[in-house]
Amino acid sequence: MASGMAKQLSVLVGAGSIGQAIIRRVSAGKHIVLADYSKENAQRAAKTLEDAGFECSTMQCDLGSKEDILKLVEFATSKGDVTNVVNAAGVSPSQASVEEILRVDLYGTSVLLEEFGKVMAEGGSGVVISSQSGHRLPALPQEQNEALAMTPVDKLLGLPFLQEINDTLKAYQYSKRCNVLRVMYEATRWGRRGATVNSISPGIIITPLANDELHGPRKDGYLKMIEGMPARRAGTPDEVGDLAEFLMSSRGRFISGADFLIDGGCTASYWYGDLQYLKATH
- Render pLDDT for 36-86 as a digit per residue (tens, 0 to 9): 999 999 999 999 999 999 999 999 999 999 999 999 999 999 999 999 999
The one catalytic residue in 107, 170, 176, 270 is: 176
pTM: 0.94
* Whole-number average pLDDT of the chain: 94
The whole-angstrom separation of Cα 3 and Cα 142 is 41
pLDDT digits 0-9 by tens, 134-177: 999 999 999 999 999 999 999 999 999 999 999 999 999 999 99
Give Cα separations from 220 to 79, 133, 204, 213, 226 (angstroms): 47, 18, 14, 9, 10
pLDDT band at 1 (very low <50, low <70, confident <90, very high): very low
170 classed as catalytic: no
Please check whether residue 174 is in contact with residue 234, taking contact to mean a CB–CB distance below 8 angstroms. Answer: no
224 classed as catalytic: no
The one catalytic residue in 172, 174, 185, 270 is: 172
pLDDT band at 281 (very low <50, low <70, confident <90, very high): low
